[in-house]
Chain A
Amino acid sequence: MNLSRRDFTKIGSKIVIGAASGPVIIDALVKKARALEISPLRDYDWNEHFWGYVVDTTKCIGCGRCANACKLENEVPFDEPVYRTWVERYRVLKEGEAVIDSPNGSIDGFTDDIPEDEINKAFYVPKICNHCENPPCVQVCPVGATYTTNDGVVLVDYEYCIGCRYCIQACPYGARYYNNEKGTADKCTWCYHRITRGLLPACVKACPVGARKFGDLKDTESEVNKILDRERINVHKPELGTKPKVYYIGLDRVVR
């Protein structure tokens, strides 16, 4: 075989680069495949679940126990006007205007400050992070401190978040807030520490009228799936294409 020096160098360097990068690429592929297969949580397989949430606005009585329980469960600063979940009151007046309020996130309840005869219809709408399948907040994070888990929950890495608040701006539902104590963005986790241990989120537990339902969308027998099959449901701002996983029964057109 007759090789010129140039050809020898060319072929030789290709072999060396190939040999060096091959294992790296294979390793990365294996790691990725394993990540999809194996759950990071020892006694909980996050590939077996895909969580969903249903809010029945026709049942909500606006007592605010959900917002209260959420703050106590998750150490949300209690005296600051920040909430992971809250209840809004919508009052559509006879003149056509809609009055929307949520004093202290509904924790102290509501008082009637508009006479009944001026109101056409009134109702409460509990709000919470929608854990979108296509979350704008995750897209904008510059450091990878917020992400969607395999079981469909949008979480914040408090160690890694730099507190730039871009995600708070990006969320079209106002579901995120800045946590002054942590110095990071913060939001509803659907009580990830509870649901991964087989418990319900604190807000669902606290609701006295069963207006909040939580369950596994992968389980065809789950309560949320039965509601989705049976009831007329909608999501907030479907036109944005964020694909929320909080489904509402009885959502009025004035709700935004």
Chain B
Amino acid sequence: MQPHLKRAFTLLAIIIIAFIFVRSLAVPGSFGEYGWYRGDSVNELRSQDIEYAGSRTCGDVGCHNTLYSIWNQSRHKTVNCETCHGPSEKHASNIRIMPEPADDSRDFCGLCHYNRVARPDGFPQVDPETHGQNLRCAYCHNPHKPWFV
């Protein structure tokens, strides 16, 4: 082989070996395990903490049984506990950690129940200007067991 070719091939071999070496350092071990991505990231994403415990957690463990059974029969049964009371998984696993008290302002109830044109027909809505004399909604309506006049 001619010497200039020899030099070129040696250089090429060094470049290829260096590339393979750098690549093995730069590409994470689990890359390509399941596809063109880092396989470990699936488990990383899955290990994220849960914030919303779910309504059953509130009633099943026996802490809020009474309220749970009242709510469960009411027209608000489609509204989960944490929709108003906020995420409570931390409270469920450690009762010393109290969740934020539920917002009982008129505007919070109004998120669902103020008159809005875009809402479906028949959904219970009120005009906040004329209804309830600016009292808190819970003054007349029990949010765990709402009733309709």
Partners in one complex: yes
A155 CB contacts on chain B under 8 angstroms: 41-42, 45
| Cβ-based interface call for B130 (8 A) | no
Interface residues of B in 76-97 (CB under 8 A from A): 76, 78-80, 82-83, 86-87
Interface centre among B35, B83, B111 (most CB of A within 10 A): B111
Contact for B83 among A60, A69, A124, A145, CB less than 8 A: A69
Contact for A205 among B42, B52, B112, CB less than 8 A: B52
Q: Quick one: given A193-B47, A206-B52, are A40 and B83 in contact (CB under 8 Å)? A: no
C-alpha spacing A202/B51, complex, angstroms = 8
A145 CB contacts on chain B under 8 angstroms: 37-38
Contact for A63 among B31, B38, B48, B112, CB less than 8 A: B112
C-alpha spacing A183/B40, complex, angstroms = 20
Show 18 residue pairs from A and B whose CB-CB distance is below 8 angstroms, ordered by the A residue.
A40-B42, A41-B42, A61-B112, A61-B123, A62-B116, A69-B52, A73-B50, A109-B114, A112-B115, A123-B118, A124-B119, A149-B42, A155-B42, A157-B45, A159-B41, A160-B37, A193-B48, A199-B54
| Cβ-based interface call for A255 (8 A) | no
| Cβ-based interface call for A189 (8 A) | yes
C-alpha spacing A89/B76, complex, angstroms = 24
Interface centre among B35, B41, B79, B119 (most CB of A within 10 A): B41
Besides A147-B36, A196-B46, A205-B54, 9 other A-B contacts (C-beta < 8 A): A60-B120, A69-B82, A69-B83, A73-B50, A109-B107, A145-B37, A160-B28, A160-B38, A192-B48
Smallest Cβ distance from A59 to chain B, in angstroms?
6
- The answer to whether B52 touches A157 (Cβ under 8 A) is no
Main secondary structure of the interface of B (DSSP, over half): loop
- The answer to whether B118 touches A89 (Cβ under 8 A) is yes
Smallest Cβ distance from A166 to chain B, in angstroms?
15
C-alpha spacing A144/B30, complex, angstroms = 12
Contact for A112 among B34, B83, B117, CB less than 8 A: B117
- The answer to whether A72 touches B116 (Cβ under 8 A) is no
B52 CB contacts on chain A under 8 angstroms: 69, 72-73, 194, 199, 202, 205-206
| Cβ-based interface call for A208 (8 A) | yes
Interface residues of A in 111-127 (CB under 8 A from B): 112, 114, 116, 119, 122-124
A61 CB contacts on chain B under 8 angstroms: 112, 116, 119-120, 123
| Cβ-based interface call for A146 (8 A) | yes
What are the 5 A-B residue pairs with the smallest beta carbon separation, nearest first?
A: A157-B41, A147-B37, A122-B118, A193-B48, A208-B79
| Cβ-based interface call for A230 (8 A) | no
B28 CB contacts on chain A under 8 angstroms: 160
C-alpha spacing A189/B86, complex, angstroms = 20
| Cβ-based interface call for A178 (8 A) | no
Q: Quick one: given A41-B46, A63-B111, A150-B34, are A91 and B117 in contact (CB under 8 Å)? A: yes
A158 CB contacts on chain B under 8 angstroms: 41, 44
C-alpha spacing A112/B128, complex, angstroms = 13
| Cβ-based interface call for A52 (8 A) | no
| Cβ-based interface call for B59 (8 A) | no
Contact for A91 among B37, B80, B83, B118, CB less than 8 A: B118
- The answer to whether A62 touches B117 (Cβ under 8 A) is no
C-alpha spacing A59/B52, complex, angstroms = 23
A193 CB contacts on chain B under 8 angstroms: 45-50
Q: Quick one: given A73-B51, A192-B45, A193-B50, are A110 and B33 in contact (CB under 8 Å)? A: no
Interface centre among A90, A202, A205, A209 (most CB of B within 10 A): A205
- The answer to whether A157 touches B43 (Cβ under 8 A) is no
- The answer to whether A157 touches B37 (Cβ under 8 A) is yes
| Cβ-based interface call for A64 (8 A) | yes
